[in-house]
Amino acid sequence: MDAQTAQAIELIRSRMPIQELVGRYVALKPSGKGTWKGLCPFHQEKTPSFQVNEAKGLCYCFGCKAGGDIFAFLQKIEGIEFREALERLAQETGVELPQYKGRASARKEALQILELTQAYFRSHLGGEALQYLQARGLTAGSIEQFGLGYAPGSRDGLLKHLQGQGVSPQEALEAGVLMEREGRFFDRFRNRITFPILDSLGRTVAFTARALAQDDNPKYLNSPETPLFKKSLLLYGYPQARPAIRERGRAVVVEGLFDVIALHQMGFSEAVAVLGSSLSAEQAHLLKRADATELYLAFDADEAGRKATLQSLNLEIVRSFVVYAVLLEGGKDPGDLLLLPDGKARFEAALNVALPEVEYRFEVAASGLDLRRPEHKQKVLEALKPRLVSSEPFDRVVEKLKAKVIGALELSPRALEDYLARARSASGRHTQGAAPPRTDRVASLGLSRPDLTEKRLLRELDVIALLYSVPEEEFVQWSLYVEDHTWPPEGSLLADFMQAARSEQGKSRILKHFEQRGEGARLMDVLMKSPSFDQVNLEADRREPTVSWGEHGSARKPRLTLEAHLTVAMARVREVYYEMRLDKLKTQLKSTTDLDEIRALTKDIQEVLQAIEAERRVYKR
């Protein structure tokens, strides 16, 4: 992160108090000086465990461990990326962000061209095109909400319109709305209904256009992929569906754009469409960000297709959701239901009888087998093993699948767990050549004593909490200072933290980075519970009332206090690093009979003991 962005972030933080931002989503009650409490917006609860601390600029749920600063909160609650949270808050607080380098201005121009194109298409919707949409059952409200338009039949209507707005044909070509052949430019979409495709920020980044004439091929024509438009990264209808997905905890995923609009009109406003033929991992991630936990896939109109849908799902996606395959009777598409008086009820019924992944998996594994025969039970287990040996904790599908297996195969839970344990250890042996898991590596480094590992983590967290109290623009500098004075060993939280800090992404994103690991929640815990920086200063003032701060007092005061606190926290971290080293040396000493080695180890141990003493003197002073 460059200095200008860091300054802008710090300015936004100072202008947008966290309780104000959080207060828009959560009813907050004061709970002591500079702190507020409310019901957590990220999980269901009856007593408030969501806390907001003004001085620290942080919010945190002691129940579900969600939280962070203003940027992290906005990202999570709106399901947006860091950059968008930054842009929104910058705009609201009137802070100017330094321009993105490189392609930023080109992207901005392309967005403007797409915007102009969308306005052009919208203004031409009427006559036959409008009648077609009405005949499909769409209301004026739906047409408006999804921005449907019409691309006239002429070869250069849009071309001329854009030129009139100062857009060159080359620019419009790069934005994907024109085509070029032998140096001649012409409109890409002609005599077609246009569907603007929005990215997750709600900006028009591409179009899909449906032919109005029967003999016009292809029936649907897409914009080409551009830096703004990558089919596999977007879901049609996502910005419109996001609030309902969040509220209902589920998403209905279909194939057709009409289907999405029809479903929204029928009240299934959690519907989105894939722009290809299957759900990509990135698209699944978008749904995850909107807090979907259940996916209803309505891709195929027949039974075979429905099974293919579930079979084609990648395991990563399946692990993150409870997945259902929806089958509509009579081979209809959701869009066809719009014209039926009981269309809504029919779709509701289809959702209710959707085939859950668990049932489907079991059906496939057990098909053609006699479940009373032990060797066939064995075959079912073999077939389900890959899904059952899931490394994700709290995988609900696996829990349900286990229950299904236990019931249908008449196994005891114990027997199933034994079987899976054997399966796991067998697969562990196969991968022995690969990098050992982290815990093994830690053990082999002699860091296996859990009490020391825990002590190290706690002390590292103290140091990191102090680093979080410095302004954004000094954050990297102070992090490097800590690194130079502690030499965190590989594999420690502090070492990982330093690596993240050096990547210069800023405090907010580093916190997010650690949220995805176990230590993230611990870090937030420490950040919320440690005295805030203002309090730290007050205590220091009381202890040293005679210090004169001089002309630049307000700027220097926090730094001196921070340095003093860091000195102590770093000594405590180094002490535990030495203790771990001591532990390792003692283990080595126990396992050797070589006299030279014993002598060398004893000398090392003496040195480490002295180092530990020295560190203790620092913080007991």
Cβ proximity of 38 and 48 under 8 Å:
yes
**DSSP bridge pairs for 253:** 272, 297
- Sole window of 32-40, 179-187, 252-260, 511-519 interacting with Zn ion (rule: CB under 5 A): 32-40
Pick between residue 337 and residue 521 the one whose CB is nearest to Zn ion.
521
Query: Which residue among 40, 116, 325, 328 contacts Zn ion (CB under 5 A)?
Result: 40
Cβ proximity of 160 and 150 under 8 Å:
no
Pick between residue 57 and residue 67 the one whose CB is nearest to Zn ion.
67
Pick between residue 56 and residue 210 the one whose CB is nearest to Zn ion.
56
φ/ψ (deg, to 5) at 246: -65, -45
Beta carbon of residue 419, minimum distance to Zn ion (angstroms, whole number):
36
Cβ proximity of 411 and 380 under 8 Å:
no
Query: Which residue among 14, 29, 33, 43 contacts Zn ion (CB under 5 A)?
Result: 43
Cβ proximity of 251 and 296 under 8 Å:
yes
Residues within window 556-575 making contact with Zn ion, judged by CB under 5 A: none
Beta carbon of residue 516, minimum distance to Zn ion (angstroms, whole number):
17
Beta carbon of residue 223, minimum distance to Zn ion (angstroms, whole number):
40
Beta carbon of residue 41, minimum distance to Zn ion (angstroms, whole number):
8
Beta carbon of residue 238, minimum distance to Zn ion (angstroms, whole number):
25
Beta carbon of residue 58, minimum distance to Zn ion (angstroms, whole number):
14
Pick between residue 206 and residue 524 the one whose CB is nearest to Zn ion.
524
Pick between residue 17 and residue 63 the one whose CB is nearest to Zn ion.
63
Pick between residue 76 and residue 264 the one whose CB is nearest to Zn ion.
76
Give the binding-site size for Zn ion (rule: CB under 5 A): 6
Strands 220-222 and 235-236 come out as unpaired
Beta carbon of residue 16, minimum distance to Zn ion (angstroms, whole number):
22
Beta carbon of residue 396, minimum distance to Zn ion (angstroms, whole number):
19
Residues 169-198, mask of contacts with Zn ion (x by CB under 5 A):
------------------------------
Pick between residue 46 and residue 438 the one whose CB is nearest to Zn ion.
46
Pick between residue 59 and residue 476 the one whose CB is nearest to Zn ion.
59
Residue 41 binds Zn ion (CB under 5 A)? no
Pick between residue 289 and residue 574 the one whose CB is nearest to Zn ion.
289
In what order do the strands lie in the sheet containing 250-254? 235-236, 271-274, 250-254, 294-298, 322-325, 355-356
Q: For residue 385, what are the CA distances in angstroms to 240, 323, 339, 420, 504? A: 39, 18, 45, 7, 43
What the block records as the tokens of 602 is 């004893």
Pick between residue 40 and residue 260 the one whose CB is nearest to Zn ion.
40
Which residues lie closer than 8 Å to 129 by C-beta, 6 or more apart?
Answer: 150, 193, 212
Beta carbon of residue 232, minimum distance to Zn ion (angstroms, whole number):
32
Pick between residue 75 and residue 142 the one whose CB is nearest to Zn ion.
75
Strands 67-68 and 184-187 come out as unpaired
- Sole window of 39-47, 257-265, 308-316, 488-496 interacting with Zn ion (rule: CB under 5 A): 39-47
Beta carbon of residue 436, minimum distance to Zn ion (angstroms, whole number):
35
Pick between residue 39 and residue 573 the one whose CB is nearest to Zn ion.
39
- Smallest CA-to-CA distance from 318 within 241, 249, 398 is with 398
Q: How many residues does the chain have?
A: 621
Q: Helices in 124-255 by DSSP H: which ranges?
A: 127-135, 140-145, 157-164, 169-174, 238-248
Cβ proximity of 87 and 97 under 8 Å:
yes
Between the two ends of the chain, the Cα-to-Cα distance in Å is: 38
- Sole window of 35-43, 288-296, 300-308, 419-427 interacting with Zn ion (rule: CB under 5 A): 35-43
- Sole window of 37-45, 319-327, 493-501, 597-605 interacting with Zn ion (rule: CB under 5 A): 37-45
Beta carbon of residue 30, minimum distance to Zn ion (angstroms, whole number):
20
Cβ proximity of 524 and 67 under 8 Å:
yes
Pick between residue 74 and residue 234 the one whose CB is nearest to Zn ion.
74
Pick between residue 46 and residue 590 the one whose CB is nearest to Zn ion.
46
Angle at 441 between CA 436 and CA 445, to 5 degrees: 155
Query: Which residue among 15, 42, 307, 568 contacts Zn ion (CB under 5 A)?
Result: 42
Report which residue type is found at 550.
G
Handedness of CA 480, 485, 490, 491 (dihedral sign): negative
Pick between residue 40 and residue 162 the one whose CB is nearest to Zn ion.
40
Which residues lie closer than 8 Å to 116 by C-beta, 6 or more apart?
Answer: 161, 162, 165, 167
Note if the bond before 218 is cis, omega within 30 degrees: yes
Residues 307-336, mask of contacts with Zn ion (x by CB under 5 A):
------------------------------
What the block records as the tokens of 621 is 């002073």
What are the percentages of helix, strand and coil residues in the chain, rounded to 5? Answer: 60, 10, 30
Beta carbon of residue 397, minimum distance to Zn ion (angstroms, whole number):
23
Beta carbon of residue 48, minimum distance to Zn ion (angstroms, whole number):
10
Pick between residue 78 and residue 615 the one whose CB is nearest to Zn ion.
78
CA distance 621 to 614: 11
Residues within window 49-108 making contact with Zn ion, judged by CB under 5 A: 61, 63-64
Beta carbon of residue 21, minimum distance to Zn ion (angstroms, whole number):
17
Cβ proximity of 295 and 245 under 8 Å:
no
The b-or-e profile of 89-110 (16+ CB within 10 A means b, else e) is: bbeeeebebeeeeeeeeebeeb
Beta carbon of residue 25, minimum distance to Zn ion (angstroms, whole number):
13
Beta carbon of residue 49, minimum distance to Zn ion (angstroms, whole number):
6
Helix (H) or strand (E) holding 60: strand 58-61
**DSSP bridge pairs for 296:** 252, 324
The b-or-e profile of 166-189 (16+ CB within 10 A means b, else e) is: ebebebbbbbbbbbeeeeebbbbb
Q: Enumerate binding residues for Zn ion (CB under 5 A).
A: 40, 42-43, 61, 63-64
